[in-house]
Amino acid sequence: MSSEFFFQSITQLAAALEGKTLSSIELTRAVVARTKAVEGRVHAFNSVDEPDALAQAAESDARRAAGQARGPLDGIPIGLKDVIAVAGQPLTASSKMLANFVSPYDATVTAKLKNAGAVLWGRLNCDEFAMGSSTENSAFGPTHNPWDLTRVPGGSSGGSAAALAAGEVLAALGSDTGGSIRQPAALCGVVGLKPTYGLVSRYGLIAFASSLDQIGPFARTVEDAAIVLGAIAGHDERDSTSFKTEIPDYRAELKKRTGPWRLGIPKEYFADGLDPEIGAAVEQAIAFYKKLGCEIKEVSLPHTRYCLDTYYVIATAEASSNLARYDGIRYGHRSKNATDIVDLYFQSRAEGFGAEVKRRIILGTYVLSSGYYDAYYLRAQKVRTLIRNDFLAAFREVDALITPTSPMPAFKIGEKADPLALYLCDIYTIGVNLAGLPGINVPCGFTKSGLPIGAQIIGQPFRESELLAVAQAYEQAHDWKTKMPSL
Question: pLDDT tens-digit profile of 239-298?
Answer: 999 999 999 999 999 989 888 999 999 999 998 899 999 999 999 999 999 999 999 999
Q: What is the pLDDT of residues 328-358, one digit of tens each?
A: 999 999 999 999 999 999 999 999 999 999 9
Q: Looking at the predicted structure, is the pLDDT value of residue 25 above 90?
A: yes
Please provide the average confidence, as pLDDT, over all residues in the chain. 96
Where, residue-wise, is CATH 3.90.1300.10 in the chain?
Answer: 3-264+397-482
Q: How far is CA 71 from CA 63, 227, 251, 469, in A?
A: 11, 10, 12, 21
Active-site residue flag, 96: no
Q: Please identify which of the residues 9, 24, 60, 81 carries the catalytic annotation.
A: 81
Residues pairing with 191 in the sheet: 219
What average pLDDT does the segment 156-169 reach?
98
What superfamily would CATH give domain 3-264+397-482?
Answer: Amidase signature (AS) domain (3.90.1300.10)
| pLDDT confidence tier of residue 449, bands split at 50, 70 and 90 | very high
Catalytic residue of the set 23, 95, 133, 156: 156
Concerning whether 412 is annotated as a catalytic residue, the answer is no
Note if 180 is an active site residue: yes
| pLDDT on residue 157 | 98
User: How far apart are the C-alpha atoms of 88 and 90, rounded to whole Å?
Assistant: 7
**pLDDT tens-digit series, residues 137-150:** 999 999 999 999 99
pLDDT band at 4 (very low <50, low <70, confident <90, very high): low
Cα-Cα-Cα-Cα torsion 128, 129, 132, 136, nearest 10 degrees, comes to 10
Average pLDDT over residues 102-112: 98
Share of the chain above pLDDT 90, in %: 94
Candidate list 134, 180, 242, 348, residue with the active-site label: 180
Q: Quick check: 3 pLDDT over 60?
A: no
Residue 88: pLDDT over 50? yes
In this predicted structure, the answer to whether residue 1 has a pLDDT above a threshold of 80 is: no
Q: In the predicted model, what is the mean pLDDT of residues 26-33?
A: 96
Give yes or no for residue 2 having a pLDDT over 70: no
Which residue, 468, 453, 88, 470, is CA-closest to 248?
468
Condensed to tens digits (0 to 9), the pLDDT of residues 215-250 reads 999 999 999 999 999 999 999 999 999 999 999 999
